[in-house]
Amino acid sequence: MDGDRTESDWQGLVSEYLVCKRKLESKKEALLILSKELDTCQQERDQYKLMANQLRERHQSLKKKYRELIDGDPSLPPEKRKQANLAQLLRESQDRTKHLGEEIKELRQRLGEVQGDNKGRFRSRKMKAAQLLRHWQSLRMLESLLSAPQPR
């Protein structure tokens, strides 16, 4: 009779099941909320990248116009034109350095994301391998039990 469950045992199990079910539903809702927030953040990120590219292009266009104005102004003395050209080269070099820094930062971020993805895949494969090993061991045990001589 020890193996039989009482009504209160069953009620306890049902209550525990309902609590677990509510927790699961809450976690599903939280996951949906987080997923929506992630989508929103990704859209905002994409918009900011687009705006940054547009500003960069606008800046390049203005620099080009400025260079054309200075280079094309014959009223400026040659020394002033040379200074303007050197200043322009310095600005271009600084802009290029800044752009490369941003590119490096973006590439590092993408590398981190890829490495994180790879770690997740590795963990997933490791868990699957462990499950397969346990399953294989169970099958081997059943096989040995079935092949053992039966007592008469």
Residue whose C-alpha is closest to residue 82's, from 71, 96, 94, 68 = 71
pTM to 2 decimal places: 0.38
Q: pLDDT value at position 144? A: 77
- In sequence order, what E strands does 15-147 have? none
Greater pLDDT, 140 or 94: 94
Q: What's the rounded Cα separation, in Å, for the pair 51 and 107?
A: 19
What phi, psi does 53 have (nearest 5°)? -65, -40
3-class DSSP assignment, residue 32: helix
pLDDT digits (tens, 9 = 90+) for 84-133: 777 888 888 899 899 989 999 998 898 888 888 778 788 888 888 888 88
3-class DSSP assignment, residue 136: helix
pLDDT digits (tens, 9 = 90+) for 25-82: 999 999 999 999 999 999 999 999 999 999 999 999 988 887 777 666 667 677 776 7
Structure tokens at 105: 């930062």
Q: pLDDT value at position 1? A: 45
Sorted by sequence, the CB contacts under 8 Å of residue 70 that are 6+ apart come out as: 76, 81, 84, 85, 88
Residue 2 has pLDDT above 60, yes or no: no
Q: What's the rounded Cα separation, in Å, for the pair 137 and 132?
A: 8
* Largest distance between two CA atoms of the chain: 117
Contact present, 95 and 87 (Cβ < 8 Å): no
End-to-end CA distance of the chain: 29
